[in-house]
Amino acid sequence: MNLLIIAIWLMLPAYLPNNLAVLFGGGKPLDFGKTFRDGRRILGDGKTFRGTIAGALGGMGAGLLLSAVASTWPDRGLPQFGSGDELLMVLMGLSLGAMAGDVIASFFKRRMGMERGASLFLVDQLDFVLGSWALTYLLAPRWFSQNFTPEIILIVLIITPILHRATNVIGYKIKAKKEPW
Ligand code: CTP
Ligand code: MG
């Protein structure tokens, strides 16, 4: 199977949460509107309970579907997201990790004095990738190193900013997103 397809496949449970958060986000912010000791918002209105929960659960649900597809057609060589207990750890790592990476980045954006929605090059594009890799490595280290080989990691680092930009421009055009980044 083509390495590019494998890379996208492996990252789908980490890519989907952001898009789902944009579509389903809104309502009570994760920081309850509270400010940090620097007087700025802890996270800001762009990180909400609805978006985070929809993103994490939706990404995991999609991962379960992909797993079922991969095991239905084993000859296609599509990678599995682990089996048994590992499956849950891997999907939680990829999806919840992606949401967590994005939330942590917002914390630092606010500390840098950036308003909600301001763009921070490379951080906006890769925060969720690093978050998903870190949590997956913690929860399922063996699966992570077997699947995220150096080649796959390199491909993901190259294609993610491009895919991210493309989906955000679409999100902006359909008015789901306030800014095209
Ligand atoms: N969103 C959400 N909950 C999250 C992540 C995203 O509700 N955990 C929704 C919000 O409506 C948010 C939109 O998805 O405005 C776009 O996400 P993102 O670009 O990450 O947030 P920004 O609004 O740009 O805020 P920040 O500057 O903190 O990144
Ligand atoms: Mg943003």
Mutate which of 19, 30, 47, 181 for ligand 1? The one with the most ligand atoms within 8 Å of its CB, which is 47
Ligand 1 atom 4: residue of nearest CA: 47
**What confidence tens digit (pLDDT) does each residue in 11-64 have?**
999 999 999 999 999 999 999 999 999 999 999 999 999 999 999 999 999 999
Using DSSP, state whether 122 is helix, strand or coil: coil
If phi > 0 it is left, if psi is from -120 to 50 it is alpha, else beta; for residue 77 that is left
- Cβ(118) to ligand 1 under 6 A? yes
Tell me the C-alpha to C-alpha distance, in Å, between residue 135 and each of 54, 88, 98: 18, 12, 8
pTM of the entire structure?
Answer: 0.96
**What confidence tens digit (pLDDT) does each residue in 130-173 have?**
999 999 999 999 999 999 999 999 999 999 999 999 999 999 99
Percent above pLDDT 90 for the chain? 98
Partners of 29 in the beta sheet?
48
Q: Please answer whether residues 85 and 121 qualify as being in contact, where contact means their C-beta atoms are separated by less than 8 angstroms.
A: no
- Cβ(156) to ligand 1 under 6 A? no
d(CA 90, CA 92) in angstroms, rounded, equals 5
